[in-house]
Structures are given as C-alpha cells and as structure tokens.
C-alpha cells in the first residue's frame, strides 16, 4: 500500500506541476509533458515492483506504439477553427478518436 501511495504522489506531482506551469509557460509545459516522463516513471515502477523483464519489454513496446496513436486525440483541436468546434466538442471528439486509436494500437501490437 505504501508503494502505491508513493507512486500516486509522484505521478500526481508531475501532472500537477505541468498543469501549473501551463499558465505561466505553456510552451515549456507542453514540451515537458510530451517527453516520455510518465513512461520513464511507469517503466521503472513496473520493473521495480514485478521484476519481470519480459513484461516490462511488452509494456515498453505497447507505449512505443501507443505514443503516436495517441496523437489522434489532438486532431479535433487542430481542426477546431475550421470546423468551429468548442472546447468540449473538440475534447469529446478527441476521446472518440482515442477509442479508434486503441483498436489501431491493438492491431499493430499483434504484428510486432
């Protein structure tokens, strides 16, 4: 339980810091969040907890495929001006794009 709380606090601090920073330096906050910071933390935590290199490698492969697929979330935001979408319309459409992205992710993982 202590390890779970520690991991939750660390992850929450990273997200909270980037959220706070976005009000002052959105360019820097976006860059930091785009770094694989969460992946670095999660991979280290996963291996430390389970000591299973094969599971960690599978986890890393999944992240590798998921990162570019997760960009689908941002497509509605890129088109928001042309399509006159509100924030919530863009956000909802982005979540829908992630559902499509999940199936693409799943398909690619079966191929590698």
Give residue-wise pLDDT tens across range 33-92.
777 777 888 898 899 989 999 999 999 999 999 989 999 999 999 999 999 999 999 999
* Residue 4 reports pLDDT greater than 80: yes
* Residue 93 reports pLDDT greater than 80: yes
CA distance 23 to 61: 33
The predicted pLDDT at position 30 comes to: 85
Describe the crossing of helices 2-24 and 26-34 by its angle, rounded to 10 degrees: 140
CA distance 98 to 74: 9
pTM value is 0.67
The predicted pLDDT at position 71 comes to: 92
The predicted pLDDT at position 40 comes to: 84
């Amino acid at each position: 339980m202590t390890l779970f709380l520690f991991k939750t606090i660390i992850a929450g601090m990273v997200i909270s810091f980037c959220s706070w920073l976005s009000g002052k330096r959105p360019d820097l906050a976006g860059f930091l969040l785009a770094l694989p910071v969460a992946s670095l933390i999660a991979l280290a935590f996963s291996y430390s907890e389970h000591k299973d290199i094969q599971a960690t490698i599978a986890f890393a492969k999944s992240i590798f495929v998921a990162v570019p697929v997760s960009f689908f979330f941002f497509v509605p935001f890129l088109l928001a001006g042309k399509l006159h979408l509100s924030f919530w319309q863009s956000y909802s459409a982005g979540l829908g794009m992630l559902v499509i992205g999940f199936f693409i992710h799943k398909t690619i993982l079966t191929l590698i």
